[in-house]
Structure 1
Amino acid sequence: MAEAGENRVFGKRATQHVLILASGDRVRHMTIRPWMTGLVAGTIGLFALGYLGATAYLVLRDDLIGATMARQARIQHDYEDRISSLRAQLDRVTSRQLLDQQLVEQKVEKLLRQQTALFSRNGKLGSLLERAEGAGISAEPVSSQGKETAAEAIDRQAGLTTSSIPPARTALAYAPSGENMADRADRIFSKVTLSLKGIESEQLKTIEGLTTDAARKADSMAQIMRRTGVEVSDKRSEAQPLETPPLRTGEVKGGVGGPFIEPMKFDRFNASLDELDTALTRLESVRETALALPYGNPAPGQGITSRFGNRPDPFLGRLAFHGGIDFQAETGLAVKATGAGKVITAGWASGYGNLVEIDHGQGITTRYGHMSRILVREGQTISVGDTIGRAGATGRATGPHVHYEVRRNGEAVNPIHFLNAGLKLTTYMN
């Protein structure tokens, strides 16, 4: 590297540094200018600063990490102390709630037992209500709370809805601040108990009303039927006393004794159900008897042309006994069975023409004569209202009509008594 000569115009020239690079026969010159020197010096300085910064970071890093870990340890220690304090507080609250919850659970179990009893009663009562409805007895509408479960009753009394919150047993475990759970449970369960007692009272009232109606209806029907000479069973319910008789002291003569046994608890509800069942059974029996016996009309809506008893004979003109009732009818009119029974005659009979005779039991039979056509056969079982033939004028008749007889033990009785009784019974049969 060589230095350039002096500047002859302005005096001494600036010193320049020339870098000579030789490689074999080739020689290259590179002039090193001041800015290049400054750039190299700045670069070196930057590298030096970076090196010093990295060295300082490595030296201080351990101290920073240690300080950070110490701060985290202090925070964790404070957090654990807070958790321990809250846990101790929670244990105290939980212990108190467990004691209260035991009382709540006992009361819930008691209500669930009452609910189970209500369900069982509703099942028994439901079948009896269906029987009563079939017998034409309508019960007073029972409160809608009768279909309410104990859990639903609890929720209702607590002002809760089962669609928006957990069941009452869970809800009661979280009493609002300022109110003890046991106190809240006592308040709610007292209301629910009163509600369930009200439901039971309404059920008993309904059962007693049905029993009275069934007995009254059966008595009225039996009285109407007895007027026609029909024997009706008069078996009545042997009602149990609603209250056990008080124990009277000082009236017993002679010695008494025996092992001590707790007194039997009187179940008024089941006793009422038994009474209703007996009353309905008697009513059903009376209804079956009424349906079997001839209390219907063989030609509904048709007028009577000849009544029971002595009358002028239409062929001979002299007085003769008419053992039935004649109904006005055109040929082909449907002739109805007036009661359920079994066909014992279905064919031609002298004087009657085409005759059908039905046995209804208790020695009572009915005869339907002068029919143009018979639609039943002997031995066939008939229900009340069945069509057994068509009206006509066969046999000893002056024109088409329905000849109807009622016989008891083979002797003709006035059918009008059965027709009138049937009209009265219709109000009880529907």
Structure 2
Amino acid sequence: MQSTSHSAVLGRRKEPHTIIIARGDAVRHFTIRPWVATLLVCCVAVIAAGYLLATTYLVLRDDLIGASVAWQARMQQAYEDRIATLRSQIDRITSRQLLDQQLMEQKVNELIERQTALTERQNVIAPIVERVNTAPTGEESERIEKKPQLGTVSPDQSGFKASQIAALWKTRTESLNKTPAEKADLAFSTITKSLRHVEDDQLKRLESLADDAYQTADKISQALASAGLVIDVDYDKANVGGPLIEIDKSQVFDTRVRELNAAFRMLDTVKDQARSLPVANPAPGRPVSSSFGVRRDPIIGTAALHSGMDFRTGTGTPIRATASGTVVSAGWSGGYGRMVEVEHGQGFTTRYAHMSEILVVPGEKIERGMIVGKTGSSGRSTGPHLHYEVRKNGTALDPLRFITAGRQIQSYL
């Protein structure tokens, strides 16, 4: 009764599985519990799965290894291509840098050469400028003060006017956004333009100085020509000719320097000839009491030729030579009284008469402005004064023409 109720409530009790093995009279039996069976099944399944996996691996191993090798090869090829691309870019960048460096060095060398040439030119120009600026007088001084020195840039010539400041500032602002190479090119361009401007200014200044020298020589010769004194100022232009051959730009400066030297030589020649002519005033600041030409003789009252001009002055006033030359006579000379005669070349001589004292001797070399004696009233004279004559080949000429010409060219001498 109890057993029947137990089964109804809890169900039938499962008996463990028993394996009976009979062999002849021997009988063996094994009891297999459920968890042992489950474990055995799992082991068999694991072994089977492992076997299948091993078999599959062995079958597909070559394909997997080939695929892996191919993938690695593709990856290596991609890396090598990338490296080759990077190397190519590096080579291009390096080549460009080398080209930029070579171009930069070339530009620097060009700038150095131009700067060296400018320095050499300045060394050539400096003595010329010093020569021009040593003792400027008259109109020549005004021209020198108004013009800039060689090799310099004045504000008016530089072109930096107020109306251009905005444009220059805009250019400067835009240059800030440029690459280093572009900035370097802009800097080189600016420096090159500046050097070219200095070169052009030097050439213009040389040409201007040459023109001034020629004009000064012409003015001196024209002033002397008005007094009947002819000076050859075209000695370097006469009897010349030849085909016109264009010169190289590198030779322009040397040509300008040669032209300027030729102009200065011409000017020096004209000045030397002018200084050798009696164009100065023998008694500066003294009034003229009698001019050259026919006049009433102060002693006998008849018409007579006055071969010179008289300067009213007191006794003892210094008498200055009107040009350089050589004293040919110094002593008493009849109606001239105490007289000094000076030979100046080209047939010109000057006479200084009625002296109270003679300060030179025959054969003495004198310079323009040197004191040759003192005024007096010796000889045929009515009072202290200086009688001054200018003669050419023995013929008396009007001294006033010479003195007038001398006043006109005084600032140039």
* CA 143–395 in structure 1, closer or farther in 2 if over 3 Å, else same: closer
- Residue pairs, 1:252-401, within 5 angstroms: 267-401=251-385
SS at match of 1:300: coil
* CA 193–265 in structure 1, closer or farther in 2 if over 3 Å, else same: closer
- Residue pairs, 1:179-218, within 5 angstroms: 181-218=180-217
- Please report how far the alpha carbon of residue 187 of structure 1 lies from its aligned counterpart in structure 2 after TM superposition: 1.8
CA distance in 2, matches of 1:264, 1:220: 33
Is the counterpart of residue 426 in structure 1 residue 397 in structure 2? no
- Please report how far the alpha carbon of residue 307 of structure 1 lies from its aligned counterpart in structure 2 after TM superposition: 1.3
CA distance in 2, matches of 1:296, 1:143: 34
CA distance in 2, matches of 1:130, 1:403: 41
* Residue number in structure 2 paired with 1:132: 132
- Deviations 1:112-157 (Å, cap 9, x if unpaired)? 110111111112222222333357544411487569xxxxxxxxxx
* Residue number in structure 1 paired with 2:104: 104
Tell me the amino acid that sits aligned with residue 328 of structure 2. Answer: I
1:331–1:391 contact (8 Å) kept in structure 2: yes
- Please report how far the alpha carbon of residue 281 of structure 1 lies from its aligned counterpart in structure 2 after TM superposition: 1.3
SS at match of 1:269: helix
* CA 143–229 in structure 1, closer or farther in 2 if over 3 Å, else same: closer
* Residue number in structure 2 paired with 1:411: 395
SS at match of 2:123: helix
1:303–1:328 contact (8 Å) kept in structure 2: yes
Is the counterpart of residue 141 in structure 1 residue 148 in structure 2? yes
- Deviations 1:241-299 (Å, cap 9, x if unpaired)? 9x9768xxxxxxxxxxxxxxxx9666222212221211121111111111121111111
- Deviations 1:380-400 (Å, cap 9, x if unpaired)? 111111111110011111111
CA distance in 2, matches of 1:135, 1:278: 19
Moved more, 402-411 or 224-233: 224-233
Tell me the amino acid that sits aligned with residue 126 of structure 1. Answer: A
- Deviations 1:342-393 (Å, cap 9, x if unpaired)? 1111111111111111111110010000110011111111111111111001
CA distance in 2, matches of 1:208, 1:237: 17
SS at match of 2:343: strand
Name the one with the larger helix percent: 2
* CA 397–308 in structure 1, closer or farther in 2 if over 3 Å, else same: same
* Residue number in structure 2 paired with 1:222: 221
* CA 265–406 in structure 1, closer or farther in 2 if over 3 Å, else same: same
CA distance in 1, matches of 2:367, 2:94: 73
* Residue number in structure 2 paired with 1:43: none
Tell me the amino acid that sits aligned with residue 312 of structure 2. Answer: Q
- Deviations 1:61-95 (Å, cap 9, x if unpaired)? xxxxxxxxxxxxxxxxxxxxxxxxxxxxxx99999
SS at match of 1:347: strand
CA distance in 2, matches of 1:339, 1:382: 8
1:103–1:182 contact (8 Å) kept in structure 2: no
Report the identity percentage.
42
- Please report how far the alpha carbon of residue 201 of structure 1 lies from its aligned counterpart in structure 2 after TM superposition: 1.2
Moved more, 401-410 or 231-240: 231-240
CA distance in 2, matches of 1:420, 1:265: 46
1:135–1:284 contact (8 Å) kept in structure 2: no
- Please report how far the alpha carbon of residue 102 of structure 1 lies from its aligned counterpart in structure 2 after TM superposition: 3.1
CA distance in 2, matches of 1:310, 1:291: 29
* Residue number in structure 2 paired with 1:152: none
* Residue number in structure 1 paired with 2:87: none
- Residue pairs, 1:27-42, within 5 angstroms: none
1:132–1:280 contact (8 Å) kept in structure 2: no
CA distance in 2, matches of 1:144, 1:367: 50
Q: What is the TM-score with the length of structure 2 in the denominator?
A: 0.64
Q: What is the TM-score with the length of structure 1 in the denominator?
A: 0.62
Please give the root-mean-square deviation of Cα atoms over the aligned residues, in Å: 3.2
CA distance in 1, matches of 2:378, 2:149: 58
CA distance in 2, matches of 1:125, 1:303: 46
CA distance in 2, matches of 1:385, 1:232: 22
CA distance in 2, matches of 1:120, 1:238: 30
- Deviations 1:12-43 (Å, cap 9, x if unpaired)? xxxxxxxxxxxxxxxxxxxxxxxxxxxxxxxx
* Residue number in structure 1 paired with 2:82: none
Report how many aligned residue pairs link the two structures: 295
- Deviations 1:198-256 (Å, cap 9, x if unpaired)? 11111122112112221111111101112222231222655999x9768xxxxxxxxxx
* Residue number in structure 2 paired with 1:86: none
SS at match of 1:272: helix
CA distance in 1, matches of 2:367, 2:219: 23
* CA 95–266 in structure 1, closer or farther in 2 if over 3 Å, else same: closer
- Please report how far the alpha carbon of residue 421 of structure 1 lies from its aligned counterpart in structure 2 after TM superposition: 0.9
2:217–2:233 contact (8 Å) kept in structure 1: no
SS at match of 1:267: helix
SS at match of 2:349: strand
CA distance in 1, matches of 2:151, 2:118: 13
SS at match of 1:110: helix
1:142–1:202 contact (8 Å) kept in structure 2: no
